[in-house]
Amino acid sequence: MKKETIYPIDKWNIIEKSFDIRNNYRNETIFSLSNGYIGTRGTQDEDYSFDLEIGMEGNYVNGVYESADIRYGEANFGSPLKSQTLLNLPNMKTISMVIDGECFSLLSSHFENYERCLSLKTALLTKKLVWITKSGKRLDVLVKRIVSFENKHLLLQRLELKAVNFTGELDVNFILNAKVENNTRKTNPIVDYGPYGICLQPKQIIEEKKVILYEGETKGSHIKVGCGFGVNITPEKNLISSNTVIDEFSAQKKFGIKLQEDEVVIIDKHMVYTSSLEANHNDISNEVVCLVTETLANGGDYYFEYQKKYMEKFWENAAIEIVGIGADSVIQGLNFNLFHIFQGAGRDEKCGMPAKALTGEGYEGHYFWDTEMYMIPLLIYTQPEIAKALLSWRYNTLDEARNRARILGHSSGALFPWRTINGQEASTYYPLGTAQYHINADISYAVSLYYQATGDVEFMLSYGAEILLETARVWADVGDFADVKEGKYCICSVTGPDEYNVLVDNNFYTNIMARENLRDAVNIYQWMKEEHEDSLNKLVNIINFNEDEIKLFKQIIEKMYLPYDKKLGIFPLDDGFLMRKRWDENKIPEEKRAWLYENYHPLFIMRHKMSKQADSMLALFLYNNYFSEEEIKRNYDFYQKVTLHHSSLSTSIFGIIASDIGYDEEAYGYFITSARMDLDDHHNNVYAGIHGANMAGTWQALVNGFAGMRLQNGVLSFKPNLPKAWDKLSFQILFKSNLIKITLEKTQTKYELIKGKNVCFLLRRNRTLVELHKEGDCYLEKI
Amino acid sequence: MKKETIYPIDKWNIIEKSFDIRNNYRNETIFSLSNGYIGTRGTQDEDYSFDLEIGMEGNYVNGVYESADIRYGEANFGSPLKSQTLLNLPNMKTISMVIDGECFSLLSSHFENYERCLSLKTALLTKKLVWITKSGKRLDVLVKRIVSFENKHLLLQRLELKAVNFTGELDVNFILNAKVENNTRKTNPIVDYGPYGICLQPKQIIEEKKVILYEGETKGSHIKVGCGFGVNITPEKNLISSNTVIDEFSAQKKFGIKLQEDEVVIIDKHMVYTSSLEANHNDISNEVVCLVTETLANGGDYYFEYQKKYMEKFWENAAIEIVGIGADSVIQGLNFNLFHIFQGAGRDEKCGMPAKALTGEGYEGHYFWDTEMYMIPLLIYTQPEIAKALLSWRYNTLDEARNRARILGHSSGALFPWRTINGQEASTYYPLGTAQYHINADISYAVSLYYQATGDVEFMLSYGAEILLETARVWADVGDFADVKEGKYCICSVTGPDEYNVLVDNNFYTNIMARENLRDAVNIYQWMKEEHEDSLNKLVNIINFNEDEIKLFKQIIEKMYLPYDKKLGIFPLDDGFLMRKRWDENKIPEEKRAWLYENYHPLFIMRHKMSKQADSMLALFLYNNYFSEEEIKRNYDFYQKVTLHHSSLSTSIFGIIASDIGYDEEAYGYFITSARMDLDDHHNNVYAGIHGANMAGTWQALVNGFAGMRLQNGVLSFKPNLPKAWDKLSFQILFKSNLIKITLEKTQTKYELIKGKNVCFLLRRNRTLVELHKEGDCYLEKI
């Protein structure tokens, strides 16, 4: 699996040393920028033909989707009828430069000293090169790009130009191109429906108050999108002429600029996006003009500076230090991963975080359980406000989830959609979609984890409790106490995380997660009853909740059935798992092995005794407190043999458990496989977008794995196990507003309270409770 | 469930006493005619608007289908990409009669003495009425219609006209209308794909040698269809004028006819259909002209006469006699059922028998397991040649089934499609389609039953053995010996006949049927090895069969796992059945109860502990020899409580077992429910076509139920149990070319050899082996 390094090892920068069109598609993803609202692929500033062999332009606004009728061979009751596809928006990044009638092109011009660099530390993308025209004129070109954290609507491009050996004129052309299409279908042959073609219908493209303004509306989802840009040129005196050309699907703003030898001209292009999902539906145009005008007035420097400071704060909490073999390489991978998670997460409570963040159209830009089980845990400990925003977005879709529960036959409660943008179920194949009821427990898990880590009472009273109770209700309705299992509570016909084992009975992960969902619901109910009775009464009233339901919840918690094989001493993936046909990978041609669903019928896949990814293992990580180490070992040994790791969500979890049970080499191996998965493009598919869950998973593999961190029943705990290859590993976490630094070394682990007061946690190796009272306090755990 | 009788009780005739447009749609199905090749709905001869509220014209040729691209929300590997829809063909039945410029219409003309009658005995549909024109002219109209058993291409209409009180002129207009569409989608909202619109593209409509000739080709499946008609008028002298009008989609042949008071004019219209599936692709037109000319030359009388004699022979073997309460009503229902099965079965080895025969477009005219498990058993004992033709058709699709097995990941063997016309899988929803692997065992069961009942060695050597071995191979590959089930052979992720329990492990029916499929394969192999080594060698060579496979088959037979619950002493439907959620019908609004899939998500349905139809029960009927009566009783008691009978295939099977275990009242109840299901239109859906499986099931409920007939391991046996309501029940069966009459009476059962010699069978009540040596021999079994 280990592949060669693509980019130079550099902890804080991803650097492309030369332009090669063959790497373009991949680099577009790698160099993507986002602020959780806007996402823009790392496409080149220069115009080139977006043949899907070489690249895919992509500009997205989180939550803005197009919709089309879904057609089915045979539709079922409750099959979603409207698709949701993250919409590719007009592209405004393109710049064309002309000297003496010669237009600069990466494909055909002569240029030197090309370098592109993504600064992870500052969220700044720069590109520099020297363009040598046919007549020998040398132009230094530096392009800077940020997607602003100060103003979420802003995508900012700065062009710094210096004539090296001449004085003359330059034409710069800034282009808005609205003739864009989505590429979902082209990159995903199994999705056989729209939206096709150009989805945004232009309502107007005009220039108003020096702002190039576009307004359009989607055909299917009827979302209005507004975007536009304005330009600042410094020094202003160098501007000779300007000219605007507008046609049906595009606008061009052309500037004639005087270049003085050795003098730098700076051109800032302020591009903004907004949509009717938040701006006033009837006044989007005005909104765009205001936004552009405001940001132009603030000036580019302000935003570049803000960006730097904002990122500094992030890394203050999130930075990881490793000393040891291959440390720089690992750190680069981790920083790259943390950067993408951080920048890609929705922050405005109106959207979530797509599986590929906003770096591509893979999975149609849908939000899955990845957010709650992989990304949010990382954010909870580093950027709890973002975690809260993501969970608040889920809360904001509760009504849709309640409707969905009714469609699935539950008379009360809420069932969250397996995949969605607008809160409605968008899964067109329920065996791998809606059947994954565990989404309910995953969201509840994240809510509960958020509360344990932050103590955010207000969130729980306003949002969290309602989510916990409504999701729990579905668990209390979906299964039943079965005589044939000695009265245990069984849940049939669901699909767990493992998409190779479909529509099974008593999926271990699902049942245990459901039980804990119910337990969290009971706990929050009892806590509110004792301490926040008014809030409880209000809530109970709103959702028509009856205290008898708590009794039922408790019975189910008590009686939840977990499949167990006495002979093997393991928890099978589900009731039928051990009966399935033995898997013989040798019978599968090598080129088909990693792509089973593309090459084999679902029935072939599901009848075999093998697992796509961590499933039971994930439950055993999250709730290891219910199991003995011996049990976990036996299960690890078993699953390690039957798991194919065909999901990017798998290895990080195996790594965590391996570390926990002292399988050090395997733990390290899994971690290394995960850490640079996207940066080294292990699966040759980064072009379609990053793998957010794995990226966040690597952080978990480090923190929950090597440091053995857990947060269960409100108790934070650690069980460090530093990889042999390393001399040191340190990271920081926020826990109830306290910043704690954990430093693993060969002979000791140091726990230090950096900010805050009165922190308490457990060392699991020797069952020691540690208290750190004031800043600077630290505790040394000797190995 | 019992509904009022719609048609007068008459053992041999279905009579409509007056025309009511509100009953039209239903009557079109009831009065359908077929010969297994052509099927024509019982639409009126007069033209009327085919609004889908009042009716649906339908003319079909078995095996002729249209095909369109199927679209999926998410396609899986192996999802069929082309649909198959029994094609609605040009209609040639329409006749318009005009006197004094007044055109006869059932909707607006004045007429008296209307009566339509389907003679089950002679397969003749007649309609009579007296038309009274506005000026008071009375015309006796008699229309006869047959679909010929003499020439499968022929649909024959005879018009007998008599001017009662006038002498004058009549214009008769015979119409060919090719502007026809399929109605599948309109009547089946869950199928969301074509073919839409007019599928047959006319190549030519001409008149040639007095034959109105149509030739067209389908857009998607590229099947050429030819049809045409010619007319004979007697006496010829009455023909005054003739005239032909042809346009893009239709042809009209107009005759001016002189009517002499009190004189009968007879007009025969010979309509033929053929297609490129059998006629020479390039010469279909000539084929049509020849067929029409030939049948015109033979004259209508010949075909009407042949029809009568042919049907006489059928009833000679098939007729049933009942004496007792409600006997006539039951007999009428049974005769109606037998008639439809008999007329609708494909006979030419090029097609099967659709679930609704050729009476409508329900299920798109696909062939299912109904043929093998419901219809063929009846045909084996009454018309073994037809059974053989149907099984030969399956044989002819073996290559398609082999391909399908490869797609499903089996490196050898054949997997028959769950639903098909052309031999390829047409199921667009695999959980209720391809997952029903039992189709393989069902076909093998029918092959084996056919052989046991006929002793047709030739068939087995040429066709049967290959089917048995190829299907068995899939059973030997789909499952595995599971340690967790003490080394028993388990089959996971299949769907049994019960479509409410989907993708289950170890479906009892499937596993037992698979075991017997393997056993039949082993037996045929050993028998051929001993007695037909040359044939075996040839076969083994063709299918590359290895004797080691027989060893594996034997191990699987030995080790086949059957789910069994010790506490309840029953065979659960599958491994997970008893764990599922308790079903509470009271929670389902009454109007939704019978239509679960239309009102509930599949996950809701499959997680509940209830059964759509006979599933385990069917296995316990077919292989009761492996179980004790006590066991069967316990299972019956269990399944009787959890079965909703939402499939028309259910009650007949429950009836059979109820009778076997002495639950006489229930047996009788189930039988009565089934016997007139279509004739009394119990489910208000006969308009879309008959329910072939139930129709054949009623015969099984009588013969396998009340007479307790079984044929297992080559031994024919009986265990009669005459319903209390009856004094007598008699029927005949063919067994190895011997015609045996069985007569159940209150105090005895009489077994009589009507034709043939040396028949041997077992009386199961007292384990007596009976031998009848010569015609007329009989045996009395005293009760």
Whether residue A276 is predicted with pLDDT greater than 80 in this model: the reply is yes
Chain B partners within 8 Å of A192 (Cβ): 71-75
Q: Which of B435, B597, B604 sits opposite A603 (nearest CB)?
A: B435
Chain B residues in contact with A71 (beta carbon < 8 A): 71-73, 192-193
Are residues B74 and A485, on separate chains, in Cβ contact within 8 Å?
Answer: no
Report CB contact under 8 Å: B430, A603: yes
Percent of chain A with pLDDT over 70: 97
Q: Please tell me whether the interface predicted TM-score (ipTM) of this complex is above 0.90.
A: yes
**pLDDT (0 to 100) of residue B192:** 57
Examine the pLDDT at A621 and tell me if it is beyond 50.
yes
The pLDDT value recorded for residue A4 is 82
How far B443 CA sits from the closest chain A CA (Å)? Answer: 21
Taking a C-beta distance cutoff of 8 angstroms, is the pair A444, A385 a contact?
Answer: no
pLDDT in tens, B170-185: 999 999 999 998 876 6
CA pair distance A340, A320, nearest whole angstrom: 15
Name which of B232, B41, B228, B64 is nearest B145 in CA terms: B41
Chain B's closest residue to A577, CA to CA, is B492
Dihedrals φ, ψ of B309, to 5°? -65, -40
Closest Cα in chain B, distance from residue A432 (Å): 10
Min Cα distance B726 → chain A (Å) is 43
Interface probe, candidates B579, B588, B610, chain A, greatest A C-beta count within 10 A: B579
Query: B469 near B412, Cβ under 8 Å?
Result: no
Is A193 close to B73, i.e. CB distance below 8 A? yes
Query: Hey, are the CB atoms on B576 and A505 less than 8 Å from each other?
Result: yes
Closest residue of chain A to B580, computed from CA coordinates: A492
Distances (CA, A) of A724 to A3, A141, A331, A659, A662: 22, 46, 16, 11, 12
Give tens-digit pLDDT for A648-693: 899 999 999 999 999 999 999 999 989 999 999 998 889 989 999 9
Of A672, A681, A674, residue with least CA distance to A28: A681
What is the distance between the alpha carbons of residues A401 and A417, in angstroms, rounded to a whole number?
A: 7
Measured between beta carbons, which residues in chain B are less than 8 angstroms from residue A70? 73
What residues of A are in contact with residue B603 (Cβ under 8 Å)? 408-409, 430, 434-435, 493-494
Q: How close is the nearest chain A Cα to the Cα of B130, in Å?
A: 48
Collapsed DSSP state (helix, strand, coil) of residue B166: coil
Cross-chain Cβ contact B576/A492 below 8 Å:
yes
Between chains, do A193 and B606 touch, taking CB under 8 Å as contact? Answer: no
pLDDT for res A71: 85
Does pLDDT of A710 surpass 80? yes
Distance from CA of B342 to the nearest CA of A (A): 31
pLDDT at residue number B188: 58
Residue B94 makes CB contacts below 8 A (sequence gap 6+) with B45, B46, B47, B174, B175, B177
Query: B67, B607, B610, B638: which to substitute to probe chain A, counting the most A Cβ within 10 Å?
Result: B607
Nearest to B77 among A411, A506, A597 (CB): A597
Q: Phi, psi (5° rounding) for residue A300? A: -60, -40
C-beta of residue A507 within 8 angstroms of C-beta of residue A573? yes
CA distance A61 to A291: 16
CA distance to A28, A60, A304, A305, per residue, from A270 (Å): 21, 16, 12, 15
Does the distance separating the beta carbons of B601 and A430 come in below 8 Å? yes
Cα–Cα distance between B662 and B660 in angstroms, integer? Answer: 6
Q: Alpha-carbon distance B357 to B689, whole Å?
A: 8
* CA torsion angle A435 A631 A618 A550 (round to 10): 60
Closest CA to A162 of A43, A15, A261: A261
* Catalytically annotated residue among A66, A425, A499, A516: A499
A78/B601 touch (CB, cutoff 8 Å), yes or no:
yes
**Hey, what are B503's tokens?**
């993708």
| Reduced DSSP (H G I as helix, E B as strand, rest coil) percent helix, strand, coil of chain A, to 5 | 35, 25, 40
With CB atoms and an 8 Å threshold, state whether A192 touches B75. Answer: yes
CB count within 10 Å of CB B74 equals 20
Residue A242: what are its φ and ψ, rounded to 5°? -145, 155
Distance CA B110, CA B99 (A): 13
pLDDT of res. A193: 61
Q: Which of B470, B499, B516, B781 is labelled catalytic? A: B499
Q: Identify all chain A residues contacting B411, using CB atoms and an 8 Å cutoff.
A: 587
Interacting residues of A538 by C-beta distance below 8 A, sequence separation 6+: none
Residue where the block lists tokens 């007319």: B231
SS3 sequence, B605-655?
Answer: HHCECCECCCCHHHHHHHCHHHCCHHHHHHHHHHHHHHECCCCCCCHHHHH
Which chain B residues have a beta carbon less than 8 Å from that of A642?
A: none
- Average pLDDT of span A472-500: 97
CA distances from residue B558 to B415, B519, B554 in whole angstroms, order as listed:
23, 10, 6
Which pLDDT belongs to residue B3? 64
Phi-psi region of A357 (alpha: psi -120 to 50; beta: other; left: phi over 0): left
To the nearest whole angstrom, how far is the Cα of B542 from the nearest Cα of chain A?
24
Q: What is the pLDDT of residues A166-199, one digit of tens each?
A: 999 999 999 999 999 887 666 555 555 666 788 8
Percent of chain A residues past pLDDT 90, beyond the cut? 91
Of A409, A490, A600, the CB nearest to B409: A600
A629 part of the active site: no
Chain A residues lying within 8 Å of B190, measured CB to CB? 74-76
* Residue from the list B434, B483, B597 with its beta carbon closest to the beta carbon of A603: B434
CB count in 10 Å sphere of residue A525: 22
Determine the pLDDT at residue B73.
85
- Give A413-461 pLDDT, tens digit per residue: 999 999 999 999 999 999 999 999 999 999 999 999 999 999 999 999 9
Check A492 against B606: CB less than 8 A apart: yes
Cβ contact, residue pair A493, B603, below 8 Å:
yes
On the question of pLDDT at A75 being above 90, the answer is: no
Strand ranges across the sheet with B264-275: B13-16, B110-119, B124-132, B138-147, B154-163, B264-275, B224-234, B211-218, B200-208
Task: Pick the closest to residue A624 from A705, A688, A543 (CA basis).
Answer: A705
Distance from CA of A397 to the nearest CA of B (A): 21
Burial of B384 (0-12, 13-18, 19+ CB in 10 A): buried
Give the 3-state secondary structure of residue A218: strand
Distance between CA atoms of A300 and A151, rounded to whole angstroms? 12
Residues A727-782: tens digit of each pLDDT: 999 999 999 999 999 999 999 999 999 999 999 999 999 999 999 999 999 999 99
pTM listed for this prediction? 0.95
Cβ-nearest to B482 among A429, A493, A578: A578
User: Which residues, 6 or more positions from B667, have their beta carbon under 8 angstroms from its beta carbon?
Assistant: B655, B656, B658, B659, B701, B705, B706, B721, B723
Contacts for B488 with CB less than 8 Å, ≥ 6 apart:
B481, B482, B559, B560, B561
CA B422 to chain centroid: 17
Catalogue the E-assigned strands of A642-773: 710-712, 715-718, 726-735, 738-745, 748-755, 759-763, 768-772
Measured in angstroms, the CA of A405 and the nearest CA of chain B are apart by 10
Per-residue model confidence as pLDDT tens digits over A208-219 = 999 999 999 999
The verdict on a CB contact (< 8 Å) between A482 and B191 is no
Beta bridge partners, A749, equal: A744, A781
Q: How far apart are CA B9 and CA B49, in angstroms?
A: 31
- Is the Cβ pair B72, A490 closer than 8 Å? no
CB spacing of A578 vs B493 below 8 angstroms: no
Q: State how far Cα A336 lies from the chain centre.
A: 13
**Using the beta-carbon criterion (under 8 Å), do A575 and B576 form an inter-chain contact?**
yes
Residue A753's alpha-carbon distances to A385, A567, A729, B316, in angstroms, are 21, 47, 17, 98
Name the residue among B114, B146, B110, B109 with its Cα closest to residue B127: B114
Predicted local confidence at residue B189, as pLDDT: 53
pLDDT digits (tens, 9 = 90+) for A216-266: 999 999 999 999 999 999 999 999 999 999 999 999 999 999 999 999 999
Instruction: Quote the pLDDT of residue B211.
Output: 97
- Give the SS3 label for residue B689: coil
The candidate with the shortest Cα–Cα distance to B12, out of B312, B301, B323, B303, is B312
How many CB atoms are located within 10 Å of the residue B730 CB?
Answer: 18
- Cα–Cα distance, B433 to B369 (Å, whole number): 11
* Confidence band for A1, pLDDT divided at 50, 70 and 90: very low
Q: In A249-383, where do the E strands start and end? A: 250-259, 264-275, 321-324
Q: Among B492, B507, B598, B609, pick the best mutation site for testing chain A contact (most A Cβ within 10 A).
A: B492
Nearest CB to A75; choose among B190, B482, B483? B190
CA-nearest residue to B598 within chain A is: A77
Confidence at residue B313, expressed as pLDDT on a 0 to 100 scale: 94
pLDDT at B1: 45
Q: Which residues of chain B have pLDDT under 50?
A: 1
- CA-nearest residue to B566 within chain A is A484
In the block, which residue shows the tokens 């493992």? Answer: A498
Cis peptide before B195 (omega within 30 of 0): yes
CB distance B72–A76 less than 8 Å? no
pLDDT at B50: 59
CA-based nearest residue in chain B for residue A72:
B72
Nearest residue on chain A to B505, alpha-carbon basis = A576
